[in-house]
Amino acid sequence: MSQSKFSNLRLSADLLGNLETLGYEAMTPIQAKALPFILEGHDLIGQAKTGSGKTAAFALGLLSSLKPEQYLVQSLVLCPTRELADQVAKQIRKLARAIPNIKVLTLCGGVPMGPQIGSLESGAHIVVGTPGRIEDHLRRGRLNLKKVNTLVLDEADRMLEMGFQDTLEKIIEQVPKGRQTLLFSATYPKEIKSIAKRFMNEPELVQLESSHDDSSIQQHFYQIETKEQRFDALCILLLEHNPQSSLIFCNTKREAQELADKLKQKNFSVAALHGDLDQRDRDQTLIRFSNKSVAVLVATDVAARGLDIDSVDAVINYHIAQENEVHTHRIGRTGRAGAAGCAYALYNSKEQYKVAQLGLYLDRDILPEQLPSRVLLNKIPTQAAMATLKIDGGKKQKIRPGDILGALTGENGIAGSEVGKIDIGENWSYVAVSRDKTKAALRKLGEGKLKGKSFRVRRL
């Protein structure tokens, strides 16, 4: 217990006293693991979610290295949404109470520029904001980051998901190289690894759960006989487990399309992905699946190869793969980045020899399990969480993710937390919004302007 006391850290007496006033008695696990590194000035990647106490971890770090008498921006915190930025700024202010006259400024999109320009002119020690708006101020020469010594990328995975990679890079390039960089993210996809490699200096990696390997993916096998039983079994598994995203593998293109059509008839949120579709359809399907507007993707192995999706909740082998390596590759799509993964496989007596081979390959006994109750077949499938809006404007029209986020979340708009992945192409953009906010989002984008122009927007 004594190990997780804040008083064991090299924190100033004022900060410690304030923590006591706030009722923070002991460090949370992420604080206990990360703060010693942070306070020693190391770069750090923290795999932590909201609610873990990560904000206080980086806030105490940046407050400890702050020079209050220098009225210059010394810390920059980048967040994916205005709501998070407001929340983070509020927490930093609470923790900064111990130090007199610390100015924390929030700079977010979706609100008028005027007041922000005024605040920037009067200066701040700490800036918390969203990437699009920060880059705007930088480009117009209103924000000077030359004295920043701590850079925080909060919910970095969400920022990348929302398409802020280029914007982030432009901002990071303007922060002095000798800075300390702290990156927090709930997941650890390869894009984060690449950012870390390019912009961080030998970062410490702090994870709460141990990262996952393929052997900890739970695999379940079910024996069926007829074609009808196979289809029913699939529906039962989907209805029982309700995965937000699931990938179903078929061995042929034709089977993938037929299965997707049948699932659609049963009201599942589904799309097919195989080589007989034209490139545009395949691209749109991938966008809709990766932004969670489609819950079930039925694919062939070849088509799924190019799938740049970090993790799905469930992988279902509609038929056992022809080769053991293919099977392992398929199920490796689930359970990445510390998330729990589930893989299901259906087979009939003709495929039993493949299951036996797979058992030898995996070095385990594979026993068929009993399927959940058929009563589930009366259940209505859960719809996808998001819907995709297509905007007829993209890079060529100079549209950036921040413009779309700002247009959606401004006055009378939807909350930043209702906005999902943003994908920007040459002449088009796709943005995912919470399904139940589709109308409001369409109205807001339809009424508003992007880069001073109106664009056609429709739901896919």
Measured from the CB atom, the residue of 56 and 304 that comes closer to ligand AMP is 56
Tokens 């993209």 sit on residue: 394
Candidate residues 54, 292, 327, 437; the one interacting with ligand AMP per rule CB under 6 A: 54
Least distance (Å) from ligand AMP to the CB of residue 54?
A: 5
| Angstrom distance (rounded) from CA 366 to CA 344 | 12
Sign of the Cα torsion 214, 220, 226, 227 reads: negative
HSE value, Cβ hemisphere, 13 Å, CA-based, for 55: 18
Please give the residues from 222 up to 251 whose contact with ligand AMP meets the rule CB under 6 A.
none
Measured from the CB atom, the residue of 90 and 142 that comes closer to ligand AMP is 90
Least distance (Å) from ligand AMP to the CB of residue 188?
A: 17
With CB atoms as reference, the residue minimizing the distance to ligand AMP is 55
Q: Say which residues have a Cβ less than 8 Å from residue 152's Cβ, sequence separation at least 6.
A: 58, 62, 75, 76, 77, 78, 181, 182, 183, 184
Least distance (Å) from ligand AMP to the CB of residue 69?
A: 28
Candidate residues 32, 34, 56, 168; the one interacting with ligand AMP per rule CB under 6 A: 56
Least distance (Å) from ligand AMP to the CB of residue 361?
A: 42
- Continuous H helices in 308-415: 324-331, 352-362, 401-409
Least distance (Å) from ligand AMP to the CB of residue 80?
A: 14
Measured from the CB atom, the residue of 12 and 50 that comes closer to ligand AMP is 50
Measured from the CB atom, the residue of 95 and 295 that comes closer to ligand AMP is 95
Measured from the CB atom, the residue of 152 and 433 that comes closer to ligand AMP is 152
Candidate residues 53, 338, 372, 410; the one interacting with ligand AMP per rule CB under 6 A: 53
State yes or no: residue 55 binds ligand AMP (CB under 6 A): yes
State yes or no: residue 438 binds ligand AMP (CB under 6 A): no
| Angstrom distance (rounded) from CA 385 to CA 432 | 10
Stretch that binds ligand AMP, among 53-61, 117-125, 171-179, 282-290 (CB under 6 A): 53-61
Measured from the CB atom, the residue of 153 and 272 that comes closer to ligand AMP is 153
Least distance (Å) from ligand AMP to the CB of residue 113?
A: 28
Sign of the Cα torsion 171, 176, 178, 179 reads: negative
- For 267-328, give the secondary structure using H, E and C: CCCEEEECCCCCHHHHHHHHHHHHCCCCCEEEEEHHHHHCCCCCCECEEEECCCCCCHHHHH
Q: What is the 8-class DSSP label of residue 334?
A: B
Helix or strand or coil: residue 6? helix
Least distance (Å) from ligand AMP to the CB of residue 454?
A: 38
What b-and-e string marks burial along 27-62, b requiring 16 or more CB atoms within 10 Å of the CB?
bbebbbbbbebbeeebbbbbbbeeebbbbbbbbbbb
Amino acid at 180: Q
| Angstrom distance (rounded) from CA 267 to CA 378 | 12
Note the Cα 85 to chain centre separation in Å. Answer: 16
Instruction: Look at strands 180-185 and 44-47 and give their pairing.
Output: parallel
Measured from the CB atom, the residue of 155 and 313 that comes closer to ligand AMP is 155
Least distance (Å) from ligand AMP to the CB of residue 147?
A: 26
Measured from the CB atom, the residue of 53 and 368 that comes closer to ligand AMP is 53
Total residues at interface with ligand AMP (CB under 6 A): 12
Least distance (Å) from ligand AMP to the CB of residue 52?
A: 5
Instruction: Look at strands 126-129 and 75-78 and give their pairing.
Output: parallel
Tokens 């008498």 sit on residue: 69
Measured from the CB atom, the residue of 50 and 70 that comes closer to ligand AMP is 50
Tokens 């990647």 sit on residue: 45
Least distance (Å) from ligand AMP to the CB of residue 405?
A: 21
Measured from the CB atom, the residue of 22 and 117 that comes closer to ligand AMP is 22
Least distance (Å) from ligand AMP to the CB of residue 239?
A: 34
Please give the residues from 58 up to 97 whose contact with ligand AMP meets the rule CB under 6 A.
91
Please give the residues from 13 up to 52 whose contact with ligand AMP meets the rule CB under 6 A.
24, 27-28, 31, 50-52
Q: What stretch of H or E contains 116?
A: helix 113-122
State yes or no: residue 218 binds ligand AMP (CB under 6 A): no
Measured from the CB atom, the residue of 53 and 381 that comes closer to ligand AMP is 53
Residue ranges binding ligand AMP (CB under 6 A): 24, 27-28, 31, 50-56, 91
